Amino acid sequence: MRLAIQTLGVVWLFTTCQTVAQDYFPISVGNQWVFRNRDGNDERLIEILTANQGLQVNSNGKGSKRLRNLDSEMVVVYDQINFRSHFVVRREGSWYQLARIQYKKRKNGKVRSITYIYPADQFFLPKQMRVEKKWTISGQPFRRRKVDDEVLTINFKVVSMENFKVKAGRFRRVLRISEESEHQRKDRKNTTLGYLWLAPNIGPVRLKTVNEEVFELVRYSLTLDVKMTDQLLSLHWGSIKKLREK
């Protein structure tokens, strides 16, 4: 009987660990990651917001009506490092990108934003993540007058799995993901390359921007559901150890 309980416990633990391990980007409203560049003089964050909070981030006050009715379950990944907001929704374990607002500061100090709209079947983050995994998303700017001569295509690839240490801690089985962006407008094409490092059950721990600037995680705060999973794992493992001692 004891052996059966232990076996069931190990099976439950293994199954739970597999499920949690697949969550390389815990997207839940309130989650926040704070980064600092290697010079130590610039601190920025990535934060998960509600759709309404994400629309308020748009500094020039435009664009909210464009996205308001996209999806009632939509949340926003607000990325201060790359100056953009991703409007995403979860379906069957994968995150899909519905829209993206890209911000650019002008010389006069004003912030200009471009809203890109994506088909509903394009991944922000697939459910299954492994080395050599590839996916592509392609969107067009939202305009009152439809224009087909401008497209933003982003090619993602999981390049490697790494272990490393940053100020926020030591992380194992970190996936390094390349992000190659192709901005096509009429006959002009501009290509940029950035990188994102994701740790299991933590999320982003390092980013390298298109300007070759590296930001590393210094602290983070995850909502109760993620922390509770870790606590349940610890409690269950403790129960298994007690059974073995009897």
> Quick one: 97 and 172 in the same domain?
yes
> Quick one: 230 and 179 in the same domain?
no
- The C-alpha atoms of residue 146 and residue 48 are separated, in whole angstroms, by 31
Q: How confident is the model at residue 1 (pLDDT cuts 50, 70, 90)?
A: low
Q: Which domain holds residue 86?
A: 27-221
Mean pLDDT of the chain: 79
> Quick one: 66 and 144 in the same domain?
yes
- The C-alpha atoms of residue 99 and residue 110 are separated, in whole angstroms, by 22
For the chain, the domain total comes to 2
> Quick one: 2 and 115 in the same domain?
no
Q: Are 73 and 90 in contact (CB under 8 A)?
A: yes
Q: How confident is the model at residue 68 (pLDDT cuts 50, 70, 90)?
A: low
- The C-alpha atoms of residue 86 and residue 103 are separated, in whole angstroms, by 12
pLDDT at 58: 58
Tokens 């069931």 belong to residue: 8
Q: What contacts 24+ positions apart, CB below 8 Å, involve 129-136? A: 129/22, 129/24, 129/158, 129/175, 129/198, 130/158, 131/158, 131/159, 131/160, 131/161, 131/175, 132/157, 132/158, 133/157, 133/158, 134/158
> Quick one: 146 and 31 in the same domain?
yes
pLDDT at 69: 56
> Quick one: 163 and 232 in the same domain?
no
> Quick one: 84 and 178 in the same domain?
yes
Q: How confident is the model at residue 109 (pLDDT cuts 50, 70, 90)?
A: low
Tokens, residue 135: 């996916």
Using the predicted structure, report yes or no on whether residue 246 has a pLDDT greater than 80. no
- Which position has the higher pLDDT, 239 or 82? 82
> Quick one: 16 and 106 in the same domain?
no
> Quick one: 210 and 111 in the same domain?
yes
pLDDT tens digits, residue range 173-223? 999 999 999 988 888 889 999 999 999 999 999 999 999 999 999 999 998
- Over residues 80-105, the mean pLDDT reads 90
Using the predicted structure, report yes or no on whether residue 122 has a pLDDT greater than 50. yes
> Quick one: 231 and 157 in the same domain?
no
> Quick one: 20 and 32 in the same domain?
no
Of 12-21, 36-45, 140-149, 172-181, the range with the lowest mean pLDDT is 12-21
pLDDT at 57: 66
> Quick one: 132 and 180 in the same domain?
yes
